[in-house]
Amino acid sequence: MLLAAGRPAAAQDAVVFLVRHAETEPDGTRDPALSAAGAARSAALAALLDDAGIEAIRSTDYRRTRATAAAVADREGLDPVVYDPADLEGLARTLSADGGRVLVVGHSNTTPELVRLLGGDAGAAIHEDEHDRLYILFIEDGDVRTVLLRYGGP
């Protein structure tokens, strides 16, 4: 386990996996469901993270983010915790204090911002048709290392 006993809460080691929600099926609402391609990407994410030791999942309260997290949650037997995308600073503080291995599912604008708030390198903006970016932030003793992967796909 990555949590180090005896350290102050703000210095807990963490591995944070961050993704934007998978592809959606446009339905004219602000809260569309995943498309077939999105469901396949969610399954691919679960397969990729199968041995990552995910201990917690955070998601915004939208169908597309909850559905993206669902395959990982089912595989790991976890209940995702909803976070407020308007309070990314609060989420960053919580993730840093709690440590551990956490999957965070967000949006094209919130995911890179949360990466930055955690001290990582967000790189270029996420384009509207981009759903395959997986950030992995290794946070240890206040140092942050960012790894960017591409995953799954139709």
Query: pLDDT tens for residues 119-141?
Result: 999 999 999 999 999 999 999 98
Q: Is the pLDDT of residue 2 over 70?
A: no
1 belongs to a structural domain: no
Q: Which structural domain, as residue segments, surrounds residue 112?
A: 9-150
34 belongs to a structural domain: yes
- Band of residue 142 on the pLDDT scale cut at 50, 70, 90: confident
Which residue is listed with tokens 């930055």?
Answer: 116
Q: Is the pLDDT of residue 10 over 90?
A: no
2 belongs to a structural domain: no
User: Quick one: pLDDT at residue 152?
Assistant: 80
* Entry pTM: 0.91
User: Quick one: pLDDT at residue 12?
Assistant: 73
**What is the total count of domains within the chain?**
1
22 belongs to a structural domain: yes
User: Quick one: pLDDT at residue 154?
Assistant: 59
How does pLDDT run across 83-122, given as a tens digit for each residue? 999 999 999 999 999 999 999 999 999 999 999 999 999 9
15 belongs to a structural domain: yes
Q: Give the CATH number for residue 25.
A: 3.40.50.1240
How does pLDDT run across 18-71, given as a tens digit for each residue? 999 999 999 999 999 999 999 999 999 999 999 999 999 999 999 999 999 999
3 belongs to a structural domain: no
32 belongs to a structural domain: yes
> DSSP labels for the chain?
--PPTTS-GGG--EEEEEEE---B---SSSSPPB-HHHHHHHHHHHHHTTTS---EEEE-SSHHHHHHHHHHHHHHT--PEE--TT-HHHHHHHHHHH-EEEEEEE-TTHHHHHHHHTT----SPPPTT---EEEEEEEETTEEEEEEEE----
Q: Is the pLDDT of residue 4 over 80?
A: no
